[in-house]
Amino acid sequence: MRFNFLPLILLTFLVVPVISFASPAIITVSTQPVYHPGQTVFIEGTTSPNSLVGVTIYNPSGSVIYSNTTTSSSTGAYQLKAFTFPSSPTGPYQYGTYTVHVGTSQGLTNSTTFQFQPLLSTVTVIVVNPQGTPVSGAIVQANSAQNVTNGSGIATLLLPSGTYTLRVVPPSPYATAEENITVTAPQPLTVKVTVQVQALILSVDKVVSPNVNLQNVQSGTGITMLGGTTLTVYTTVTYLGQPVSGATVTATYNGTTYTAQYMNGNYVFNVTVNNVQYESDLQIVATYAGMNSNQVTLPLTVNLNEQAAISKTLSSLNASLISLTNTVNSLTNTVNSLTQKLSSLNASITSLQSSVQTLNSEYSSLSGRVGSISGTVDIALAVSVIAIIIAIVVLILLFRKVS
């Protein structure tokens, strides 16, 4: 028996599109990736025809700043004009990433994001020396924007509208230069900066600590050291290429200023750091004959020295233990002294009790004597009274006889 597969093949081609059309619908969403102040946000996408589409937009803080609905067309396309950004970031409209959520009543959802950024200008900075020769390797800064000049002495920065102090830090032997610029975005701006030869040069020859040993240290070199240790910095100062010994070299770290001492051709200073996790810049500069040198900045990271911290804790505990022992000894001496005084008081009380008993005995004896004396006095008094009575009677008898 012979089978004809042609009808089955034709049926397959007819059924597959039907299955495809019957597959679940989706919803898409899109918008331009970046918006600037004054621009209007549009949201668009596709979903099932004639579907109600909800659109919600969240600002960088996660707060809802827009929510609305629209209906897709018969082809499934939808578009919504959301809102217009203000001319500058204000209130809920801050620079950053915004999130768009869309959904339909059928439960279809999707999301996308876009950026709200300021309009930027391309600022081209050309750095040259007094002879007009391009200076490469110069650091160009304006606020947080930074770049380095190439071999043609050119660096570019992207800046929003505003007034800036443009700072150019060229390599040795040139001095740092600053210039004020005004940017009006999105108009491009070209600035030419001429840097002068630095007559007074400060160099860091060596940096040493228990875990650091660096030679010929350049500005911007990061240093990581252990807390609770001392960093010794060796510097030299030259004027027109010749070393000088009468300069003043100062360093500032964490609000403290250090003055270097001149020793054997170097200006040397020590920075002792606390044993805490900390990051700050060590800034070094020299002055000589009214001139200022280039500034050397060394970002310093201090890591916790756990061994030193444990030793310090043990020393503190030992000191506390000694103090506690001394206190206990002092209290013991006080108790002993009080015990002696109590014994003395007990002896005094016993002596007083004996004296009281003696006094009681003497009192009883005196009482007996007083009683005896009182009896004798009473008899004598009675005899005297009787004698007086007899005398009176005799006198009366004699008086009668005479009469």
pLDDT in tens, 191-226: 999 998 888 999 999 999 999 999 999 999 999 999
Tell me if 270 sits within 8 A of 231, measured CB to CB.
Answer: yes
Give the separation between CA 57 and CA 62, rounded to whole angstroms.
Answer: 9
The radius of gyration computed from the CA coordinates of the chain, to the nearest angstrom, equals 54
pLDDT exceeds cutoff 50 at 12: no
Q: Which residue has the higher pLDDT, 184 or 372?
A: 184
pLDDT exceeds cutoff 70 at 19: no
Tell me the mean pLDDT in the region 91-120. Answer: 95
The listed range with the strongest mean pLDDT (147-151, 319-323, 373-377) is: 147-151
- Average pLDDT over the chain, rounded to whole? 88
- Taking the model in full, what pTM does it have? 0.49
- Return the closest-CA partner of residue 297 out of 196, 165, 178, 207: 207
How many C-beta neighbours within 10 Å does residue 398 have?
A: 10
pLDDT value of residue 13: 42
pLDDT value of residue 373: 65
Q: Which of 40-44, 70-74, 390-394 has the lowest mean pLDDT?
A: 390-394
Q: What is the residue whose two structure tokens read 């070094």?
A: 284
**Region of residue 220 (left: phi > 0; alpha: psi -120 to 50; beta: else):** left
pLDDT exceeds cutoff 90 at 307: no
Please name the residues in contact with 138: beta carbons below 8 A apart, sequence gap of 6 or more.
Answer: 127, 148, 149, 153, 155, 168, 169, 170, 171, 174, 195
Q: What share of the chain is helix, strand, coil (3-state, %, to 5)?
A: 30, 40, 30
Give the separation between CA 204 and CA 182, rounded to whole angstroms.
Answer: 36
pLDDT value of residue 309: 63
Share above pLDDT 70 across residues of the chain, in percent, rounded to a whole number: 91
Give the separation between CA 269 and CA 262, rounded to whole angstroms.
Answer: 9
Written as six digits, the tokens of 364 are 């009883």
pLDDT value of residue 245: 92
101 φ, ψ (degrees, to nearest 5)? -115, 135
In one-letter notation, the amino acid at residue 234 is Y
Please name the residues in contact with 346: beta carbons below 8 A apart, sequence gap of 6 or more.
Answer: none
pLDDT value of residue 359: 83
Written as six digits, the tokens of 83 are 């809102």
Query: Tens digit of pLDDT for each residue in 80-103?
Result: 999 999 988 999 999 999 999 999
| CA 181 to chain CA centroid, nearest Å | 35
